[in-house]
Amino acid sequence: MAHDSSKAVLTALVANAILTVLKFFAATVTHSASMMNEAIHSLMDSLNQGFLLVGLKVAERPADAEFAFGHGQKKYLWNLWSAIGLFSIGCGLGLSHAWHSWEKVGTKQPPEVVELLGFSVAPLWIAALVLLIALMLDGYSLFVAVSEFSKRMRAKGETGFLRSLLRSDDPTLVAVVLEDTVATLGVLLASSGIMLTEFTGNPYWDIGFSAMIAVLLGLTAFFLGAVNMRYLADVRDTGAEALFVGIVAQHAEVERYHDLRSIIIDDQHTVLVAEIELREEAVVAGLQARMTEFEHGFLSVLPGEKREDQQLRDYCHTRAAAQATLERVEIIVDEIVRTIKQRLPRVHHVTLEVEGIATTPESHKG
């Protein structure tokens, strides 16, 4: 899973790093407010993908004395800092630049031609070429991210793309899909602003669309912040809980459960705890034979003269009963835990506390 996310992040990082240089160059020669905000947009995207890669790398560290379930949650911290910090900064810089461009309308005109590699080129063509390259690179990066996300959807049997995106357990891949979508939309907005300004001679079109690009960065920050904060809070894994309820309902030896809880540590680790009561007939059945085996085993290790000691015989009988009961309970609990982990591998740790043996049949209830 982390490998697939890394592939999408690296693709987006390379694309945005190239586009950052091209867009800043185009913004400088065209004096376009929307092109400058697109350059800021690509710069923030590049820095963000750098943060995402650091988060993925840190999250791969194994469990240690300080982090019992590994370092997976650090990924969400890096994602959160990136979303709230970088995209909020990008939004602020973009709006500030749009405002200054508004104030300076008419005070500075872009050159009619630009000397580039010995050729005289109109700024409009430079902007058009850079935006075309941006559309191609952002489109390819978006294709890679969506392909990876769709692969996971198919593996889970899901069909609704937007619904799956909102409920995904991998905020890193969600971030790349969203950023590439917004980046592609930003290119279209910048193109619209530049073309409308060119055709109408009204620079406010370019400024207005540049402000829209900045607002997009702000909305991206808000959405990604909300997605990652969800995994840093005490979030229940409803899928794991539903699976537990289904398994218990079909288990012939469990009468009912209580106090079912879960918490998502990261996208690969869920902790689930519950209390269960076992059915009397399920536990008692076959218990006598096992008790007899244990009792004979305990008596066999005693010296011959002590085997007739009634107190020792009573002790061995009691211990055999306890041992056989514990063994039967452990078998039932291990079977439930193994089934849960097989069906949902992200459930990393399951704690089932046996509250007792139910003597009156009841329906399962939480």
DSSP result, 294-316:
HHHHHHHTS-GGGTT-HHHHHHH
Task: Say which residue the tokens 């489109």 belong to.
Answer: 139
Helical spans, DSSP H, in the chain:
2-30, 33-59, 74-81, 88-103, 123-156, 161-166, 171-200, 204-232, 238-250, 280-284, 287-300, 310-343
d(CA 49, CA 343): 33
pLDDT of 247: 92
Q: Which residues contact 80 (CB under 8 A, 6 or more apart)?
A: 224, 225, 228, 229, 232
Residue ranges of the chain whose pLDDT lies below 70:
1-4, 68-69, 105-121, 166, 169, 233-234, 358-366
Helical spans, DSSP H, in 251-309:
280-284, 287-300
Domain limits, CATH 3.30.70.1350, in the chain? 238-358
pLDDT of 119: 62
Is the backbone of residue 119 left (phi > 0), alpha (psi -120 to 50) or beta?
Answer: beta
Residue 294: Cβ within 10 Å count: 18
Q: Which residues contact 64 (CB under 8 A, 6 or more apart)?
A: none
Structure tokens at 108: 């500075």
Backbone φ and ψ for 282, nearest 5 degrees, come out as: -75, -40
Backbone φ and ψ for 210, nearest 5 degrees, come out as: -65, -35
Backbone φ and ψ for 252, nearest 5 degrees, come out as: -70, -15
Domain limits, CATH 1.20.1510.10, in the chain? 2-232
pLDDT of 112: 62
At 278 the three-state DSSP class reads: strand
The tens digit of pLDDT for each residue in 116-169 reads: 665 666 777 888 888 899 889 888 888 888 888 888 788 777 777 777 776 776
52-60: long-range contacts at Cβ-Cβ below 8 A with a sequence spacing of 24 or more?
A: 52/5, 52/9, 52/78, 52/79, 52/82, 52/172, 52/175, 52/176, 53/6, 53/9, 53/10, 53/13, 54/78, 55/79, 55/82, 55/172, 56/2, 56/5, 56/6, 56/9, 56/172, 59/2, 59/266, 60/2
d(CA 329, CA 237): 26
pLDDT of 346: 86
At 63 the three-state DSSP class reads: coil
Query: Which is the CATH superfamily of the domain at 2-232?
Result: Cation efflux protein transmembrane domain (1.20.1510.10)
Backbone φ and ψ for 346, nearest 5 degrees, come out as: -70, -15
Could you tell me which CATH number the domain at 238-358 has?
3.30.70.1350
pTM exceeds 0.85: no
Structure tokens at 2: 């982390």
DSSP string, 82-105: IIIIIIHHHHHHHHHHHHHHHHTT
Closest CA to 283 of 362, 366, 363, 358: 358
Strand partners of residue 254:
278
